[in-house]
Amino acid sequence: MVNQYLTGRKMTSSVILDDTGARSFISLCQAKRKIMLPEINKLLTVPSYEQMLFRMKPEFGFGRERFALIMSAALTPDDYTFPGNSLTWKRMAEHLRQAKALSTQLETYINRINEEWNPTTIIATMGEYLPKNVGMKQQQVYMLVFMPDCRGFQGEILIDPLFTMSLTTGGFHNLIAHELHHSVRNSLTPKDNTLQERFPGIAQVLFWLESEGVANMVSSLSDLSFVKSNSLIATIVKRRKTIYPRVDILLKKLNDAMAIILSNKMPASQSYTHIVSVLQPDQCLSSRWSYNG
């Protein structure tokens, strides 16, 4: 099902909710027969899955063939040996297996999201934190089952319904506004290639601080009233609240880490890993990092 809304900013813009990937996954899981690998490969030709594989390969290191095996291990565990020892891939398989077990609830949830889908609210919330004269090109919101995450890219958003099922409708809209802000903002931000080449770790952490800082004002995910208790998102929100009181300590740690990099005591190629190693123990990074284990 594709749900589209047109609104007027400086330029005509549209936000399209495409849940074809999620519904195709549910349909496959509810078939009263053994799920075969060719059927999984066919599922991965759905546009939302093709976009996910294209966007996620650099970070997680899998293409269509590998992800098909991960999904096979999840959906037909008796017949397939898990491909490899990656903790991330195993967690993805656990997520897919849980989605299969909850496929009926997922279908009900997706129907509700379509009924209550309100792009007017999403765009208005996101637009409060952008220049008023900024136009927005067409934005595609792909709903598909892949991992407990939501990612915003330029022109599109990937969102997993099992991950967001614990959110109220208001929380879901806020999360989309958060990711939509990333998408639109990234198209406005000039790239500093010199900083990226010399100090990739510093360039990345400055990007995180600025982009996530503003996007977190767009969304209200720090407000637990939007989140049902005992869920992954509730855990993330509670973890975030433990970080805020320690922000002075954490910023000093970040400053010290960047000072080491800038003093040329560390090769530029290692700067990104160093920044992550400093921040990750304090759980300052997003859910994708905690998900990587």
Is pLDDT of 152 > 80? yes
Q: Using 50, 70 and 90 to split pLDDT, how confident is the model at 159?
A: very high
pTM: 0.73
Domains in the chain: boundaries? 1-188, 193-292
Is pLDDT of 110 > 50? yes
Could you please report the per-residue DSSP string of the chain?
A: -EEEEEEESSSEEEEEEE-HHHHHHHHHHHSSSPPPHHHHHHHTTSHHHHHHHHHHHHHH---HHHHHHHHHHHHSTTT---SS--HHHHHHHHHHHHHHHTHHHHHHHHHHHHHH--HHHHHHHHHTTS-TT-----EEEEE--SSS-EEEETTEEEE-HHHHTTB-HHHHHHHHHHHHHHHHHHTTPPP-HHHHHH-HHHHHHHHHHHHHHHHHHHS-TT-GGGB-SSSHHHHHHHHHHHHGGGHHHHHHHHHHHHHHHHTT-S-GGGHHHHHHHHHGGGT-S-HHHHHH-
* 264-291 pLDDT tens trace: 777 766 776 777 677 665 544 444 433 3
Give the residue-averaged pLDDT of 58-81. Answer: 80
* 243-254 pLDDT tens trace: 666 767 777 877
Give the residue-averaged pLDDT of 20-35. Answer: 93
Task: Specify the range with the lowest mean pLDDT, choosing from 4-13, 39-48, 194-203.
Answer: 4-13
Q: Which is higher by pLDDT, 125 or 48?
A: 48
Q: Using 50, 70 and 90 to split pLDDT, how confident is the model at 10?
A: very low
Q: Using 50, 70 and 90 to split pLDDT, how confident is the model at 106?
A: very high
pLDDT score recorded for residue 252? 80
pLDDT, averaged across the chain: 76
